[in-house]
A and B are shown apart, each in its own frame.
Chain A
């Protein structure tokens, strides 16, 4: 499974409501759209659990969670 697909899996597993996979293109806005603060916390935990790393606090920024694409970049950087 491609990394972006896995990240989308995690986003879907931590958000409720009517979010569908085909909505989550790279430019899809996350913060201020489908993520409230509780969802951000849960997403952080779910990504850490899925990929086996821990974010440092200074990696967690509004910019990183702005879109699907920016979040994917953050995760890619952690896996390199």
Chain B
């Protein structure tokens, strides 16, 4: 594996916010001028997956891809608050990240690696940009409306664990959102604008097949993909997409504070990306 350098820098994202970027620059880049932008998950999943995905970014850089890992607006070390952003903000941030990767490395093309919500955002960008050379999607969120409602359920789960009989329901939280404009879910302020932007996207990630090669990794402790991911695989194969789909039976590290890596998924991704890189 080649040596890479790592550089932290800031670049301008949506509404001119300063976004933190970490650039992993390989010593010997793959031919073809392709780099990779990593799109991170939402809230706790972002926090818990950090270490694992840093390792993946380094591993991809090790086989010759310049990789940009960045924090979207209102997340991590980037400017802004969660109360100020919506899905379109993050799509603009992703556009800015692609440009930052090009400016910093001279890469002509930006492939996308996305984990969970980041995978859904990557799919949306690939729909808009036919120049995306490939996609790597780890347990991607394919239905944004369902996802944000499932996230809201965490408030219910907190009550269950606390044995509190608060009677919180997602419908009640949605009413609170309509009445007050914001609700708190496990410590995260979810605004009506952010919530509505998830609903507005809904199932758009799956409404078009990617035009580029795509690696989809289903990651769970079960012995099969979720119904939704299995259906997505069937849709892609039926549409004749160039898709590689694997189910990896492993703990979902983005939900586990005791899991710092997913070596099976990392190895599969690096091998697949290396094959793509050899095609030139």
Binding site for B on A (CB under 8 A): 9-10, 12-14, 16-17, 31-32, 35-38, 40-42, 44-46, 49-50, 52, 57-58, 60-62, 65
B220 adjacent to chain A (CB < 8 Å): yes
Closest to A57 in B: B169
A58 touches B169 (CB 8 A): yes
* Shortest distance between the CB of A69 and any CB in chain B (Å): 16
Complex-state Cα separation, A62 to B166, whole angstroms: 10
Chain A interface secondary structure, helix, strand, loop or mixed?
helix
Which of B153, B163, B171, B251 interacts with A62 by CB under 8 Å? B163
Binding site for A on B (CB under 8 A): 44, 150, 153-154, 156-165, 167-172, 186, 220-222, 226-228, 251-252, 255-256, 258-259
Complex-state Cα separation, A14 to B157, whole angstroms: 14
A65 touches B160 (CB 8 A): yes
Given contacts A49-B227, A57-B169, contact A13 B160 (CB under 8 A): no
A35 touches B161 (CB 8 A): yes
Closest to A14 in B: B221
A-B contact pairs, 19 of them (CB 8 A): A10-B222, A13-B222, A14-B221, A32-B163, A36-B161, A37-B160, A38-B157, A41-B157, A44-B157, A49-B226, A49-B227, A49-B228, A50-B222, A57-B156, A60-B153, A60-B156, A60-B157, A62-B164, A65-B160
Complex-state Cα separation, A9 to B172, whole angstroms: 32
The 9 closest A-B pairs by CB, nearest first: A57-B169, A40-B157, A13-B221, A37-B157, A41-B157, A62-B163, A37-B158, A37-B161, A13-B222
* Shortest distance between the CB of A31 and any CB in chain B (Å): 6
B159 touches A62 (CB 8 A): yes
Closest to A60 in B: B156
Closest to B168 in A: A57
> Which residues of the partner chain B approach A38 to less than 8 Å between Cβ atoms?
44, 154, 157, 255
> Which residues of the partner chain A approach B159 to less than 8 Å between Cβ atoms?
62
> Which residues of the partner chain B approach A9 to less than 8 Å between Cβ atoms?
222
> Which residues of the partner chain A approach B168 to less than 8 Å between Cβ atoms?
57
Which of B153, B162, B228, B252 interacts with A44 by CB under 8 Å? B153
* Shortest distance between the CB of A38 and any CB in chain B (Å): 6
* Shortest distance between the CB of B158 and any CB in chain A (Å): 4
> Which residues of the partner chain B approach A65 to less than 8 Å between Cβ atoms?
160
Inter-chain pairs besides A32-B163, A38-B255, A50-B222, 11 sampled, C-beta below 8 Å: A13-B220, A14-B221, A36-B161, A37-B160, A38-B44, A40-B157, A57-B153, A60-B157, A60-B160, A62-B164, A65-B160
Complex-state Cα separation, A49 to B186, whole angstroms: 23
Complex-state Cα separation, A76 to B169, whole angstroms: 22
> Which residues of the partner chain A approach B153 to less than 8 Å between Cβ atoms?
41, 44, 57, 60
Complex-state Cα separation, A38 to B258, whole angstroms: 13
> Which residues of the partner chain B approach A61 to less than 8 Å between Cβ atoms?
160, 165
B163 touches A31 (CB 8 A): yes
* Shortest distance between the CB of B165 and any CB in chain A (Å): 7
> Which residues of the partner chain B approach A60 to less than 8 Å between Cβ atoms?
153, 156-157, 160
